[in-house]
Amino acid sequence: MDLLRNITAGNPRALIKPVLYTTLANLIGIVPFALLVEAARLIFEPFASPGTALQTERLWWVCGGMAVSLILMYASEVPAYRSQFRQAYSAAAEGRTRLAEHLRKLPLGYLNKRDPGDLANMMMGDFTMVEHGISHLVPQMIGALVMPVLALAGLSFLDWRMALALFAAFPLAVALVMLTSGIQHKLGANHMRAKIDAANRLQEYLNGIRVIKAYNMTGESFARLTLSFRELMRQSIRIEGLLGPIVLSAIACIRAGLTFMIMVGVHLLLGGSLDLIVFVSFLIVGTRIYDPLTTVLVNYAEFRYHEQAGERIVRLLQEPVMPGKRQPPAAYDIELEQVTFGYNRQTVLREVNLSIPAGTFTALVGPSGSGKSTVLRLIARFYDPAGGKVLLGGNNIRDMEPEALLSKISMVFQDVYLFQDTIAANIRFGRNNATMEEIEEAARQACCHDFIMKLPNGYDTLVGEGGSTLSGGEKQRISIARALLKDAPIVLLDEATASLDPENEAVIQEAIDRLVQGKTVIVIAHRLKTVRSADHIVVLDNGSIVEQGSHSNLLAAKGLYARLWDIQQQADTWKMIE
């Protein structure tokens, strides 16, 4: 049952129709074959029993029956074919959506541990293998058993000795495939690993192609890629090199059964204990059961390989999603109590205590790597802290449904990601049901309406994956428009003005001022002068809060903030002199 669950990526019901229809089609497929045996019997009868006349009328009936059975075969194969593909493609489409949904609900910590290439390969490659399993491997394997099983039953009835001889080698063939299934599984796993690694290396190469060109690193990075391709080739050859002989030996065993049956048949015929017609019937049936039996064995070997792809999907689907069912309260004060957190083993935040009253503006400042973004990620519950609590309106966010919590939060990141879609659709991510007027209004507020109108198709202009066709400042403003449209009571903002020119910076500041009005705001400030008027400034260093207060208090304290302020002031003065 586990195997069937794996090959269908956790949806074994998808096999019911294809297996039923294929089995039915195979059953009907036996009718012309049985009629062929009957025709042979009728033709051989006058030779086997001299003096008996050829039953021509009966022979005509058999021919008529054959014509009808061919029509029936066609009529049964069409729905079988349809159901195989319909079920396979719909199970894969439904499975891909389920997995994508599941990935969204998994803790980011889990996703960080996995290569994006691995997940992309699972979505496309592994599901293609599941499709093949549902459309071909399982239905054909089960359908192909119909003919040999019925042949065994029918032939045993005719002459059990001959039937035994015909099928004598089959258990040996099955044993060969079954006993080597451990090796097959190991080779399959190695091959799968090499395939994923090659996909990851390829993705890394394509993503980094600009850096590779810029630093003329073609040789080195290409070596990693070619090494992974070579490993994939090695594993492919190993799997074929070892599996091929196993399957071929199993097929040879089945074929040996026919030779053995002919030898037994000749012996019995010469001994006078076997009827010629029975012998001919066995010869006809014997030559026809190879194909289905070979299909069963080849499909089984292939099935064990494809089943591993499905197993990877099933295992990922079983990964626990972030817990929490409660809806967030309508109170937006945020508190961090003794929060400790690390992405890996290294601690990034140490016993952080922070109180952010609703409707206030708080700035997080500190050296690079001090943990500012991590604080925002914990408030948005991208991760749960290892120790301590994050409270919203006095309630632990660990108990809240992550999506419901996020509906209360607008986030503007430093590196904005735009989807390969129109500008309007990218802004609409803020609120799905927003009208075009609302989108335009948000764009106006975010100071991006004017530049959008200058684009070739205005709001319908397509932006490239990652927003590559827009400038950094334009992307930032689009993401502010998104956040304005969402109109969430909490705004988390990773200020990106550091790398922008003064003109863009002023426009973005204007957009941000509109976004944060009347909200509970936490801003990561890289440029201290932008947050001088914040209600509260929190200074982080090496994962701990080292000081906090208003701008003037912190300057007076002459601590880290005052030092950072001096450094930035001097840098600005230098810029002005230049």
Select 13 or 563, whichever has its Cβ closest to ligand ATP: 563
Q: How far is the CB of 322 from ligand ATP (least distance, A)?
A: 16
Q: How far is the CB of 312 from ligand ATP (least distance, A)?
A: 23
Select 360 or 373, whichever has its Cβ closest to ligand ATP: 373
Select 344 or 432, whichever has its Cβ closest to ligand ATP: 344
Q: How far is the CB of 401 from ligand ATP (least distance, A)?
A: 23
Spatial separation of the C-alpha atoms in residues 377 and 94, rounded to whole Å: 31
- Residue among 189, 90, 82, 176 at smallest CA distance from 130: 90
Select 79 or 342, whichever has its Cβ closest to ligand ATP: 342
Select 423 or 524, whichever has its Cβ closest to ligand ATP: 524
Q: How far is the CB of 366 from ligand ATP (least distance, A)?
A: 6
Spatial separation of the C-alpha atoms in residues 469 and 340, rounded to whole Å: 40
Spatial separation of the C-alpha atoms in residues 537 and 563, rounded to whole Å: 14
**Angle formed by the axes of helices 181-207 and 290-317, nearest 10°:** 50
Q: How far is the CB of 363 from ligand ATP (least distance, A)?
A: 13
- Residue among 298, 292, 171 at smallest CA distance from 243: 298
Q: How far is the CB of 430 from ligand ATP (least distance, A)?
A: 24
Q: How far is the CB of 524 from ligand ATP (least distance, A)?
A: 6
What does the binding site for ligand ATP look like in residue numbers (CB under 6 A)?
112, 343-344, 348, 366, 368-374
Beta-bridge mates of residue 346: none
CA angle, residues 435, 519, 358, in degrees to nearest 5: 140
Q: What backbone phi and psi angles, to 5 degrees, belong to 244?
A: -50, -55
* Burial of 321 per CB tally in 10 Å (0-12, 13-18, 19+): middle
Select 9 or 365, whichever has its Cβ closest to ligand ATP: 365
Spatial separation of the C-alpha atoms in residues 208 and 490, rounded to whole Å: 35
Select 366 or 473, whichever has its Cβ closest to ligand ATP: 366
Q: How far is the CB of 334 from ligand ATP (least distance, A)?
A: 17
DSSP states along 179-229:
HTHHHHHHHHHHHHHHHHHHHHHHHHHHHTHHHHHHTT-HHHHHHHHHHHH
- In the DSSP assignment, the letter for residue 400 is B
Select 21 or 383, whichever has its Cβ closest to ligand ATP: 383
**Strand order across the beta sheet in which 520-524 lies:** 409-412, 490-494, 520-524, 361-365, 536-541, 544-549
